[in-house]
């Protein structure tokens, strides 16, 4: 199953991705997570990406395309993939069509999550993440049992540097400008499904499963 999940920051891509991965046994590949890992490990890629990321700007297409092409050829992608955060520009989408064809893994379905700005703002500013195991919390809707500590591994929870209202606005502008055309691109190919994501996670996931059930038939 070769899937893309799309939506603005705070649309619930991380939460839905976790649910999809456990149901369908494909790896969740988030370009944002891969980049953050590179920044953490101070790799050459991380060093060149960091300033773009802190500013909420997109990392250059050629860097991202090469990173994804390499990742999709790892053995865990044999049954497919769930790409999150990529392609984010039309240039990336066009390049990815060629890459995916070349490696024999063309996109089968694009899940486009849709949420209004006020809900996104609420979700983003309350989001806390575990830097060690990647667990995601929310101070109001999904608090950890002990304030500021990860339930799973006990590490101190942190707020992502770009999870502020100011950065959300920048990221939303970037999304409208660069990523909406990507959804249009997949709409035109007839593989995108738009899903209202300002609902409970189980409800959103129910809609996703309906879409994916038509694929495996």
Q: Which of the residues are catalytic?
A: 13, 88, 127, 160, 171
Are 2 and 108 spatial neighbours (Cβ–Cβ below 8 Å)?
Answer: yes
Find the shortest distance in angstroms from Cβ 216 to ligand AMP. Answer: 27
Of residues 46-65, those binding ligand AMP (CB under 6 A): 52-53, 56-59, 64
Q: Which of residues 3, 5, 85, 100 is near ligand AMP by CB under 6 A?
A: 85
Interacting stretch for ligand AMP, rule CB under 6 A, among 84-92, 103-111, 123-131, 139-147?
84-92
Residue with tokens 């591994």, as numbered in its chain? 153
Q: Which is nearer to ligand AMP, 20 or 64 (CB)?
A: 64
Q: Applying CB under 6 A, does 172 fall inside the site for ligand AMP?
A: no
- Nearest distance from C-beta of residue 37 to ligand AMP, angstroms: 11
Helices 44-54 and 61-72, packing angle to 10 deg: 130
User: Is residue 31 a contact residue for ligand AMP (CB under 6 A)?
Assistant: yes
88 binds ligand AMP (CB under 6 A): yes
Smallest gap, in angstroms, from Cβ of residue 96 to ligand AMP? 10
Q: Does 95 bind ligand AMP (CB under 6 A)?
A: no
Asked if 86 is part of the footprint of ligand AMP (rule: CB under 6 A), the reply reads yes
34 with 83: CB under 8 angstroms?
no
Q: Is 12 in the site for ligand AMP (CB under 6 A)?
A: no
Tell me the two tokens of residue 200. Answer: 């409970």
Q: Which of 111, 109, 103, 107 is nearest to 78 (CA)?
A: 103
Which tokens belong to 122? 């609420």
CA distance 105 to 99: 8
* The token pair that represents 64 in the structure block: 């991202």
Q: Which stretch binds ligand AMP (CB under 6 A): 18-26, 85-93, 96-104, 151-159?
A: 85-93
Q: At what angle do helices 44-54 and 31-40 cross, to 10 degrees?
A: 120
Burial class (CB in 10 A: 0-12, 13-18, 19+), 18: middle
Place of tokens 């309906």: 210
In angstroms, what is the minimal distance from the CB of 207 to ligand AMP?
22
Query: What is the binding site for ligand AMP (CB under 6 A)?
Result: 9, 31-32, 35, 52-53, 56-59, 64, 85-86, 88, 92, 171
């Amino acid at each position: 199953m070769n899937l893309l999940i799309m939506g603005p920051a705070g649309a619930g891509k991380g939460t839905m991705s976790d649910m999809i991965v456990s149901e369908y046994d494909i790896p969740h590949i988030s370009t944002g997570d891969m980049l953050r890992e590179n920044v953490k490990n101070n790799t050459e890629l991380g060093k060149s990406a960091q300033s773009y990321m802190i500013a909420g700007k997109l990392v250059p297409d050629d860097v991202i395309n090469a990173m994804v092409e390499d990742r999709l050829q790892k053995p865990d992608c044999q049954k497919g993939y769930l790409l999150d955060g990529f392609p984010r520009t039309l240039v990336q989408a066009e390049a990815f069509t060629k890459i995916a064809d070349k490696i024999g893994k063309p996109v089968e379905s694009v899940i486009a999550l849709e949420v209004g700005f006020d809900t996104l703002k609420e979700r983003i500013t309350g989001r806390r993440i575990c830097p060690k195991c990647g667990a995601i919390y929310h101070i109001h809707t999904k608090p950890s049992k002990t304030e500021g500590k990860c339930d799973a591994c006990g590490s101190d929870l942190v707020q992502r540097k770009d999870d502020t209202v100011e950065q959300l606005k920048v990221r939303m502008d970037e999304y409208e400008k660069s990523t909406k055309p990507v959804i249009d691109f997949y709409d035109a190919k007839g593989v995108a499904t738009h899903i209202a994501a300002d609902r409970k996670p189980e409800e959103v996931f129910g809609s996703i499963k309906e879409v994916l059930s038509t694929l495996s038939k």
